[in-house]
Amino acid sequence: MGLPAIFPWDLFSFLHYALSFLFSTFGRLFFLSIHHKIMQILHCTVVVAGLANSVLAKCYSTAEHKVAWSNKGDARNAINNVCRDFAGQYKLQQQKSTCVNSSSGQRYEFYTVMDQDPEKRGSYRLELDECIERFEPNVESCERGGQTTNKFMTFTLIPNPGRC
């Protein structure tokens, strides 16, 4: 049994020669137009791939929570510090919470709970990077805090007035 008539490298060679011919015939304008279209396709692919890994937050509305972030930079720094303490092993229904004072007079209330165990493992190890990844959308995407989840845990971050 023979191989197909066009191999992938033959197709590549054909496209290379065809584009070279078109470039030499029609000039730089044609090449730039093709290059622009290829870059648009690649950009769309990267954006879609990025969305596949994103974490979506359930944001609190004004009716649920009246206070908005006064300093998102402070909140991001607080996430990094809190996650150093929150990372680690959790048992089913185990909760952790803390309160952090911001430089703008607000307090940030952090909560985690292992509230699900779909794989019946009895525990879940929360890594530092995942903790940060789960809390960040509550600041970046939500004006008044919010909640995110993974398969095992719920992550809540809320800005409030006053000190801890």
Q: What is the pTM of this model?
A: 0.65
What does the pLDDT read at residue 47? 36
Q: Provide the β-strand partners of residue 111.
A: 97, 156
Whose tokens are 């996430």? That residue is 79
- Return the domain boundaries, the chain: 8-52, 58-161
Q: Over 60: is that where the pLDDT of 96 sits?
A: yes
pLDDT tens column, 112-160 = 999 988 889 889 999 999 999 999 999 999 999 999 999 899 999 999 9
* CATH code 3.20.20 for 58-161: no
d(CA 102, CA 66): 17
